[in-house]
Amino acid sequence: MRGAVLHAPGDVRVENRDDPKITNPTDAILRLSATCICGSDLWPYRGIEAVDGPSPMGHEYAGIVEEVGSEVVNIKPGQFVVGSFFASDNTCELCQAGYQSACINREPIGANGAQAESLRVPLADGTLVATPALPADDLIPSFLAASDVLGTGWFGAVAAEAGPHKTVAVVGDGAVGLLAVLAASRLGAERIIAMSRHQPRQRLATEFGATDIVTERGDAGVARIRELTGGLGAHSVIEAVGTQESMLQAIRSTRPGGHVGYVGVAHGVELPGTELFYSHVHLHGGPAPVRRFLPQLIDLIWTRQIDPGKVFDLSLPLEQAAEGYKAMDERRAIKTLLRAPTLP
């Protein structure tokens, strides 16, 4: 099969890779309908995360089950399924508590490289959720978004306790930040402030339910949020970047007693203890337990109540993955969808 492999920073190639095979009786093999490039793939692409030899890339996926191992009972060949970037058994105590991304048996999907034609998914019964029937083609981007960025934005909004009567601020205008706006809106937030300086992203944020746009960032961004909230700060702030600046911006934009949901993969973040102590804010986040939300998200997409697939503003054949990375790295694209060779 064909698949994207990162050889060194800036050097992504689509190559022949071995077809995935069932290696454990709990595995499933999927033929991917589409896959995509994540903002977090840009960390190794930019050399900020070490690249340790040629690495298959990608951890977001949706597709049709081709084969299942002998111990898989719920997932069946022919089903269209969505899973998250961590495989999870969905039965251990942490999974049952809704933290499938911390499952005691978790396995990272990224190690198997989902930017490819096919994918082996471990712990298939716990990891995968099937749609009611085969979806229309136009729904596939939205199901793919559910695999990570929608689920992650949703978790950010839940962790920040976004809901009725709340003012929510979102730091970060990538796909996760934009879908956190959508999540906050679905959760009933009264006011949603998107922080973005880029017009196409501001437009999408507004479409997803943002009521205010703040273009300032850093200290000026914090000052603007305070100005919009009677000097108090927002009740709920979602951090969807993962840098020192964005994390401090999120904490400082939150009112005492408020909640920060942080879902940007942290890189070099060090929090000042004394400032945290006096801030009175709740911090909750980490790799999103997307699996917790998949049944609900799949239903919202299936019934066309939400259209998270709009975050894909570039669609390329898998073969052109390198251009997809470049476009996201240069911020020419919010998110790149990679079409399987069999799709138009």
Q: Which is nearer to Zn ion, 88 or 115 (CB)?
A: 88
What's the per-residue H, E or C state across the chain?
A: CEEEEEEECCEEEEEECCCCCCCCCCCEEEEEEEEECCHHHHHHHCCCCCCCCCEECCCCEEEEEEEECCCCCCCCCCCEEECCCEECCCCCHHHHCCCHHHCCCCEEHHHHCCCECEEEECCHHHHCEECCCCCCHHHHHHHHHHCCHHHHHHHHHHHCCCCCCCEEEEECCCHHHHHHHHHHHHCCCCEEEEECCCHHHHHHHHHCCCCEEECCCHHHHHHHHHHHCCCCCEEEEEECCCCHHHHHHHHHCEEEEEEEEECCCCCCCCCCHHHHHHHCCEEEECCCCHHHHHHHHHHHHHCCCCCHHHHCCEEEEHHHHHHHHHHHHCCCCCCEEEECCCCC
CB of 21 to Zn ion, least distance (A): 24
Min dist. Cβ of residue 99 to Zn ion (A): 8
Distance, CA of 208 to CA of 298 (rounded, Å): 17
Task: Report the residue number, 127 or 185, with the smaller CB distance to Zn ion.
Answer: 127
Residue closer to Zn ion by CB (options 126, 258) is 126
Least distance between Zn ion and beta carbon 128 (Å): 14
Tokens of 107: 């396995």
Smallest distance from Zn ion to CB 292, Å = 11
Query: Please, which residue, 1 or 94, has the CB nearer to Zn ion?
Result: 94
Smallest gap from Cβ 106 to Zn ion, in A, equals: 7
CB half-sphere exposure, 79, CA atoms < 13 A: 19
Nearer to Zn ion, 103 or 187 (CB): 103
- Side-chain half-sphere exposure of 190, counting CA atoms within 13 A: 7
Least separation in angstroms between residue 93's CB and Zn ion is: 8
* Residue 252 or 292 with smaller CB distance to Zn ion: 292
Q: Which is nearer to Zn ion, 88 or 254 (CB)?
A: 88
Of the pair 126, 242, the CB lying nearest Zn ion is at 126
Q: Closest distance between Zn ion and the C-beta of residue 95, in Å? A: 3
Q: How far is the CB of 89 from Zn ion (least distance, A)?
A: 4
Residues in touch with Zn ion (CB under 5 A):
88-89, 92, 95, 103
What does the chain come to in residues?
344
